[in-house]
Amino acid sequence: MKDVMVKILGTQKTDDGESNKIELTTEGKFYKKNNFYYVVYDETEISGMEGSTTTLKIKDDEVWMKRFGQNNSKLSFKKGDRYNTEYTTAYGNLNMEVTTQKVNVDISDEGKGDLSLKYRLIISNTMESLNTLDITFS
């Protein structure tokens, strides 16, 4: 296991034109196990998910994101795939549907790399947004 700096840039554009951007730099852990890369980091107040830990499981052109703690979710990103899941919060559960448009992965065994995702997110059939997530770790 290796200590890494994790830099996250996320954007969200809703269908009604509203746009949000989040930037976060935090410490994390990187390791490789059974031909998968893992990046683990704690969420902060900036992300709105303070008290949660995020684990990225990465292989080739597929990424799984699991959050647990205050908010719990498990997402899968593979270009062209549609993934349905439940997002658990302190205020109740929400249904989420993720349709992945882009997955770019460039990671070395030394714990340096970039990950870029573009996906459409629908929450409980009411809120729809186009999202990008760019993560760099070193």
pLDDT at residue 33, as a whole number: 96
Q: Worst-scoring range by mean pLDDT, 57-66, 87-96, 101-110?
A: 87-96
Read off the pTM.
0.89
CA-CA distance, 122 to 15, in Å (whole number)? 11
pLDDT at residue 88, as a whole number: 84
What tens digit of pLDDT does each residue of 58-90 get?
998 999 999 888 778 899 999 999 999 998 877
Domain positions in the chain are: 2-137
Does pLDDT of 45 surpass 80? no
* Level-2 CATH architecture, domain 2-137: Beta Barrel (2.40)
